[in-house]
Structure 1
C-alpha cells in the first residue's frame, strides 16, 4: 500500500452535489475527496466500495441520481479501476437493476438483483422485504477479519477469501451461478484494489480492509498504486472459485 494521502488526488474533476447537514453546509465543501459520512436524507448501498466513493465525494455525497458514466468515472478516479472493468461494472449494474438512465445507491439493495444472500458483512434478507440490509454487521465483519492471517500474518489473501466464502455459503445456502460470481468478485476487487499491485499473492492488510468496511472510508494514507484491470480480476476470481471447489472437496491449495 502506498503511503501517500488520499487528499493528494488531483482536483480536476467536476464537483459532486453536496449533502445537507443539520448544522448547515458540509464541513468538507471545497476540500477535494475528503471524507464525510452519510447524513440524514442521504442513501447508501450494500456495497462498501460505492459507499466509500460517495463518502469521499467521488460520487454525489447524497448517493442519488448517478448515471452510468458518473459511476464509471468514480470507479476509475477513486480506485484506479481500468476503463473496461469500470464500464462493465457500471452499465452491468444498471442492466441487472432494469434501470437504464441512472440509479441511487439505495437501488442496489433491492434483494436478489445485484444484492444477494451470504454476504460477507451483511445479514441475509430473510423476511421477504424488497430491500436488504445495508448496514455492515459487526459480528460478520469480525468473523471475516478473523479468517485472515491464516496464510500471511495480518493479511487477507485470496486463499482466506475462498475459505470465508465457503463458510458463508454453508451457513446461508448455495448461491445461484450469477450471484456466486458477483459474491466472489466483490471480495476479489476489494483485495485487488486495496492490497496493491501484489495483492494476488500477498492480499491486503486486515486493518485496511476492516477500516474500509466498517467506516466505508478509504484507509488512511492509501491511494491506488496500480490499475485493477479486467483480466487480472478474472484470474483472481477464478483462483477463488477453483479454491472454493477444492476446499469443499478437501484438496490442498495450488500456487496462484
Structure 2
C-alpha cells in the first residue's frame, strides 16, 4: 500500500508549512526492523558529512547574549547560538535567514529561499511590513504566531491552549528520547520518531487542541525528519533512511541546549526537498505501523500491547 505524503518542511519555525507537492512513497523495508534492532554501530565519520562546523562557529547560549530573541524552532535557535544568524536573533532580513540556512546546514538555496519567503508573507499582516521589501525584518520571537508560523503537536513545546509555546520543555524532551524500543536503546531513528509523532498527536487531541491541518501534519513529520538528517549517522553508502541512527546524547543536546553537538559535521551535499520527503515518508510509515499495533500510543483496533513488546 502506498503512503500519500503532502510534505512541507518547517525550517523557519516549527510551524512553517509550504505545500510543495504531493509525493507517493512506497513503504520499504521489513516492519520487523524497528528501533532496537541490531543495526551496526555508526562510524565516527558518517557518510555524507563534511568538516566540523562547531569549531568554526562556537556555541554561545542565548542567556549569554544581552536582550537576545529566540523562536519556537530548535534549528533557528541553534543557528543563532552558533552565529550563523546574528546571535541577538533580532532584525533578521530574508537574506539573513537564507544565508544562515545554507551556510549552517547546507540547505539547498532555492529551498531555503522558498521557506523564507513563505514565512515573511505569512507574517506581513501581523507586523505591518511589505514582505517583498528586502529591508523587512523579524526578531526570532516574532515567529511564535499560532496557526501561522507556530503549530500544536510540537515534539518539545506545549500546545497553544497550554500557554507557553515558545520554550522547550525538559519533560517533553525526555519523552522523545524514551520513544525508542526498548527505551534503553541508545539511538533514535525513523521508527522512534514515528512513535513520537503518534504519541504527540494523541496527547494533543486528548487535551482538547484542534486537529492539525494537512500542511501542519506535514511540517511535524518534516521537523522529525530534519533531526535524523542533521544528527544521524550511517556507515552504509547509498543507505536507506531507516538505516540512519541518531545518538540520544546528540539529540538531547540539540533539543535542550539548541546547539550542534561537539564534533558535529554538516552535510557535504545540499539538503533537498527530495531528501526530506524520503525521511519524512518513512516516519509516516512507522507512525501508521505503530498505530496499527496500538502499543499504548494510538487508537488501533484490538488489544493494546505493552510498550516493551512494540
TM class by smaller structure: 0.7 to 0.9
Asked if 1:219 is matched to 2:243, the reply is no
| Cα distance in 2 for residues equivalent to 1:156 and 1:209 | 8
Which residue of structure 2 lines up, in the alignment, with residue 81 of structure 1?
A: 107
Question: Larger relative contact order (C-alpha < 8 A, sep ≥ 6)?
Answer: 2
Quick check: which one's helix share is greater?
A: 1
TM-score normalized with structure 2 length = 0.66
| Structure with greater strand share of residues | 2
**Quick one: distance in 1 between partners of 2:160 and 2:108?**
32
Give the corresponding residue for 1:51. Answer: 77
| 8 Å Cα contact 1:124/1:133 also seen in 2 | yes
Gapped regions of structure 2 (runs ≥ 5) = 1-43, 206-210, 295-310
Task: Return the alpha-carbon distance in structure 2 between the equivalents of residues 119 and 157 of structure 1.
Answer: 17
Distance verdict in 2 for CA 1:7–1:244, change over 3 Å:
closer
C-alpha displacement at 1:151, in angstroms? 9.9
Q: How many residues align?
A: 226
Tell me what 2:58 maps to: 34
Aligned equivalents of 2:262, 2:52: Cα separation in 1: 7
Change (3 A) 1:149 1:53: farther
1:231 is matched with which residue? 274
State the partner residue of 1:188: 225
Which residue in the other structure is 1:64 paired with? Answer: 90
Could you tell me which runs of 5 or more consecutive residues in structure 1 were left unpaired when the two chains were aligned.
10-32, 252-256
CA contact (8 A) 1:117 1:175 kept: yes
User: 1:47 offset after TM fit, Å?
Assistant: 0.5
Q: Deviations over 1:40-78 (max 9, x none)?
A: 411100111100110111001111111222111111111
Distance change (3 Å), C-alpha of 1:96 and 1:190: farther
State the structure with more CA Rg. Answer: 2
Aligned CA RMSD, in angstroms, stands at: 2.5
- For residue 172 of structure 2, the aligned residue among 140, 163, 169 is 140
* CA distance in structure 1 between the aligned counterparts of 2:54 and 2:70, rounded to whole angstroms: 23
Q: Deviations over 1:2-55 (max 9, x none)?
A: 49643454xxxxxxxxxxxxxxxxxxxxxxx22111134111001111001101
Could you tell me how far 1:183 is from its partner in structure 2? 1.1
CA contact (8 A) 2:54 2:264 kept: no
Tell me if the contact between 1:152 and 1:202 (Cα under 8 Å) persists in the aligned partners. Answer: no
Contact kept? 1:149, 1:156, Cα under 8 Å: no
* Distance in 2 separating the partners of 1:225 and 1:180: 26
